[in-house]
Chains A and B, each alone.
Chain A
């Protein structure tokens, strides 16, 4: 039995790097320090054992060689291939994905387009007053979670970086820190807040505008109630924000998945900008998948754009709403799809999944997912952080090396993608 410390949990954007794994006979028998979700990930079973291919409506086992040949042929024969996913794999695999997409002139998109894509659009519009989670942990005496429920979505965010964490520059962090939660529903996170602001559905933009007005000294224009929030509470919140030493606003999909989308986030950034005239204030999107931030970094270094990058013209083109996965599938535009480390079968609207079923769809994933039933081929790979390794970016943009603890015969994502890419180059005579 061996205990291995400081392992990285590859589930959510917190990318907790303090996990202790107990390994016996090349199996993980215990995972300490992680949350229930991380624990389930490390103890996960039921991996797909070999590549599988659907023929005449039934699945059969195939070799890795056959699976690679099928993938190369399908993607090279497609007129408008889509390569989607990338947030649940390491940076090295993402790099190869971009090269491959350039070669085949396809569209490459990550799960960003269905999580914080609108946040990136807002950041491109008005900038990003961000900082690392270490700064928040050690300095912040005011934390705001807006449209985010970390208790369920990022279970250790509060204990590692905010509510329950010690702070180097705070005497008694737990007592000194105030917590504000803004949401349409009273979530578990809202229950532990000092101030819970319940906004009527669709009212975030108006509440952010009202706070901006108050912080600007124009509070007299604010009516008695804004989207269900009383004027009194708005002034109280504005006062907490301007009087803190260091405020950190974390926001979730409660801003990006409702009407207004990126405009809500722009308004939140403008509020933080305004607050920086009074004190120090930062803003961080609560990124979901463990390496979704990494996909934006890698895509940006290599193409100039963070997600939804279309190479059909031979050069990178970016226009979310047109070149994003949901739109391309809903328009039935793509004629083949490679899904890497994500599950559109579970998370995409019905019309998109029906189109995946109608075109050749290839999945690279360690587990059978809800995309498997509508796919034509699945190639199992190692799990990064267990039996595969590579680089990942935490939600605040900090890169971390993710090591492996087990040896297995599964290839990692980068290895399988390299083999596919090399074969494509051969076929194309490059």
Chain B
């Protein structure tokens, strides 16, 4: 199913901003909030996984319910997960479509990666002592 991806700040994301390689941050930024009717249509429940695709990539996220969202929109807290599938196109404004990107969502059994793993996937090397 196609959705509009909206991304933004949350208190939980902000709280863990100085330990972004930690589990709590990755758990929050790897969450895909959805309207319950959309979850029903997709056949996923809270704490089950979904895979989001765009033309630039794919990422596995944990589904969570948010009745405040309109149907057809997902919300992902700012972080590495949403940016893994965001296009760098800015329409000559300097600003990508952080709150307005069309994504395809399907249920999946694949493992959700942590923020550190997503960095490693791009060839990054986390510093082990922190």
Contacts and interface: CB of A to CB of B under 8 A. Distances in A.
A349 B100 contact: no
A261 B99 CA distance: 11
Contact of A373 (B11, B57, B88, B116): B116
Interface in B46-89: 56-57, 66-70, 72-73, 75, 78-80, 83-89
Interface string A245-275: 0000000011011110110000000000000
Contacts of A354: 122-123
A160 interface: no
A136 to B, nearest CB: 21
Contacts of B120: 373
B119 A373 contact: yes
A368 B127 contact: yes
A308 B89 CA distance: 16
A370 B21 contact: yes
Contact of B100 (A259, A348, A353): A259
Contacts, number: 198
Interface string B10-32: 11001111111100000001000
A349 B83 contact: yes
B92 A258 contact: no
Given A36-B15, A40-B15, A202-B100, A372 B127 contact: yes
A324 to B, nearest CB: 3
Nearest to A354: B122
B95 A372 contact: no
Nearest to A117: B94
Given A149-B8, A346-B80, A373 B70 contact: no
A369 B20 contact: yes
B93 to A, nearest CB: 5
Interface stretch (A67-75, A184-192, A208-216, A233-241): A184-192
A12 B92 CA distance: 27
A76 to B, nearest CB: 25
B40 interface: no
B125 interface: yes
Contacts of B8: 149, 152-153, 253
B9 to A, nearest CB: 4
A290 B73 CA distance: 29
A388 B69 CA distance: 41
B124 interface: yes
Interface residues of A, number: 74
Kindly name the residue among A36, A58, A121, A372 whose own CB sees the greatest number of chain B CB atoms within 10 A: A372
B96 A114 contact: yes
Contacts of B69: 185-186
A200 B6 CA distance: 13
A401 B119 CA distance: 36
B128 interface: yes
Contacts of A379: none
A190 B130 CA distance: 38
A390 interface: no
Contacts of B6: 184-185, 201
A190 B68 CA distance: 9
Interface of B: 4, 6-11, 14-21, 29, 56-57, 66-70, 72-73, 75, 78-80, 83-100, 115-116, 119-120, 122-130
Interface of A: 11-12, 35-37, 40-41, 44, 46, 48-49, 52, 54, 57-59, 113-114, 117-118, 121, 149, 151-153, 155, 184-187, 190, 198, 200-202, 253-254, 256-259, 261-262, 288, 308, 320-322, 324-327, 329-330, 343, 345-354, 357, 367-370, 372-374, 378
Give 6 closest A-B pairs by Cβ, nearest first: A373-B124, A324-B94, A321-B92, A186-B68, A330-B88, A320-B94
11 contacts: A36-B14, A46-B19, A52-B127, A59-B127, A118-B94, A152-B8, A201-B4, A257-B97, A325-B94, A346-B29, A369-B20
Given A152-B14, A187-B68, A374-B123, 16 more contacts: A40-B18, A41-B18, A44-B18, A185-B66, A186-B68, A201-B72, A202-B100, A257-B97, A261-B93, A325-B94, A330-B88, A349-B87, A350-B56, A351-B88, A357-B123, A374-B122
